[in-house]
Amino acid sequence: MSDLIAAIRAHTAQLHEQVEQSYPFCKMMSDSLNEEDYTRVLRCLAQWHHIIETTVAPVILSTLQGHVAFSSSVQVLKQDLQAMGADKCDILALNNDHFDNNERALGALYVVLGSANGATHILRHLQKHHSTLPSAFYKKSALDISQWKQYMRWLATQEEQFSNQQIADIICGAKEAFTLLLAISTEVKTSQRSRTLP
């Protein structure tokens, strides 16, 4: 493991744990998971992916093209939400000013692609205990593990070229991605302010 990847993991470990312990994500590996819980998870993830994917798209195109394959997850999240009876995917009125430089966007991408690791375990749990719930997103995410491996290899090869400030920004971007997901989970529970995802 490269020093940069080890540093990202160390600096985000607490936030990662907070996300897993927060509602609705804490329900995902539980036998008591119900349709309301699952719909909230999908809404949180749709909001999160929309914000991050919109932000990191320029980075993917300019920096990672030819090195890392990346495909959006927003459409499969909308598909699962529609299967749950949600006729639209709401984007809550949060501040979308995130990841304001390339390095922070790279840090956010580390978190998004890294979620494929957990998706494999969640998908197995859903198929075993909640097979009636739609799982197009988790099936896609589990397959995206190859993108995660590509990204990890690329990041390790670039490590020596990053300045100390760039490394700090990458770590900051990864932390912001987790913090954003925590904020979204709170808003999904409490906010009625929304607009429809285009």
pLDDT band at residue 49 under the 50/70/90 scheme: very high
What's the Cα-to-Cα distance from 74 to each of 21, 36, 167, rounded to whole Å? 24, 20, 28
Alpha-carbon distance of 126 to 109, in angstroms, equals 25
Question: Which two tokens mark 138?
Answer: 């988790």
Average pLDDT of the chain? 88
CB atoms within 10 A of CB 95: 8
**Residue 164 CB partners (closer than 8 Å, separation 6+):** none
The pLDDT assigned to 62 comes to 83
Burial of 40 (0-12, 13-18, 19+ CB in 10 A): middle
What is the domain range of residue 67?
A: 3-196
Across 14-40, average pLDDT: 94
The one-character DSSP state at 61 is I
The angle that helices 164-190 and 35-59 make with each other, rounded to 10 degrees, is 150
The rounded distance, in Å, linking the Cα atoms of 100 and 106 is 11
- Measured CA to CA, the distance from residue 77 to residue 65 in angstroms comes to 24
Whether the per-residue pLDDT at 92 is higher than 70: the answer is no
**What whole-number distance in Å separates Cα of residue 57 and Cα of residue 176?**
17
Supply the pTM of this predicted model: 0.89
User: Looking at the DSSP assignment, which residues form a beta bridge with residue 196?
Assistant: 90
pLDDT-derived band at 68, boundaries 50, 70, 90? confident
Lowest mean pLDDT of 51-65, 68-82, 129-143, name the range: 51-65
* From 60-64, 89-93, 109-113, 192-196, the region with the lowest mean pLDDT: 192-196
Instruction: Assess whether pLDDT exceeds 70 at residue 192.
Output: no
Two structure tokens written together for 133: 């719930």
Tokens of 10: 């160390």
Do 30 and 171 form a contact (C-beta atoms < 8 A)? no
Q: Residue 134: is the preceding peptide bond cis (ω within 30°)?
A: no
CATH number at residue 70: 1.20.910.10
When divided into structural domains, the chain yields a total of: 1
